[in-house]
Amino acid sequence: MISLSCSIYCQQSQRLSHKLEKLLSQIISLRHELCESMSVTATRGLKGMVKADLMLKKRGEVGLLIGGLAEAVWNQKRTPRELTKRKDVDVLVAKTLKSPIVDFAGGIDWWQPITVHFDRLLTSDVASVENIDRTFWVNGNGTALTYRAELNQQLRPGLHVPSKNFALAIRITEMFASVHDSISMISEDEELFRERLARRLGMGSCLPSFVKKLFSEKPVDHGELAAFALSPVNLKEQAALNKKGQYYSKKKK
């Protein structure tokens, strides 16, 4: 009887609240279809990752794999064919050292940094700052990411795979930028929430052997002492950027 009671208690303690289950469903459906309107045929999966890596190395620039593929590679059971069938390749270019990469070059959806100047930018409902620049990452369709991933450390040129923790953090940061009060909600049980999110996304604990072989460096992470600093683009910034219209999509840094 004691054993049964303990089992029931443990099962109950591993359940998310209804509010967090609803939030989990929101975050799954929230992800933008980043490659929805690509103007050229997309280069998918592992082939696209290798092509992006070579293009970045040739330019001497650092790129981060993002989007659905950055999550899909975190399952050791995946095959190259599965990745090619399922996922286009989205790459965040950390810094543009030369002229911007041509939109969708090589069939890759490149997300490149632009700097936008605001005469006045709201920071809350009652406060604002004046004459300020903000950096956003924008693709060839003029769509801006709702997060920033800025370099903290010097990395070798080429494509870098995010750690599982980083890939999950990006997905959650997108939620923070889009769902009101999500930060306070997730704080109720963040570890369990991340675990359940990873399961819903089909993420395991390891990269497939063929990804490890081609991208042998340790996956990059985020944080104060890590390779990247991750932060949301808040709703006020998103609104201000939208007011700028399409002009900003061509003003690459």
pLDDT one-digit tens code per residue, 15-59:
667 666 766 676 666 654 444 545 458 899 999 999 999 999 999
Contact 132, 241 (CB under 8 A): no
The continuous run of DSSP H or E covering 54 comes out as helix 45-59
CA atoms of 104 and 126, how far apart (whole Å): 40
Collapsing DSSP to helix, strand or coil, 22 comes out as helix
Phi, psi for residue 5 in degrees, rounded to 5: -60, -40
Which pLDDT value is given to residue 81? 92
pLDDT digits (tens, 9 = 90+) for 74-98: 999 999 999 988 678 999 999 888 7
C-alpha distance from residue 4 to each of 1, 199, 225 (Å): 5, 26, 45
* Helix (H), strand (E) at residue 79: none
More confident residue, 94 or 1: 94
What is the distance between the alpha carbons of residues 252 and 34, in angstroms, rounded to a whole number?
Answer: 18
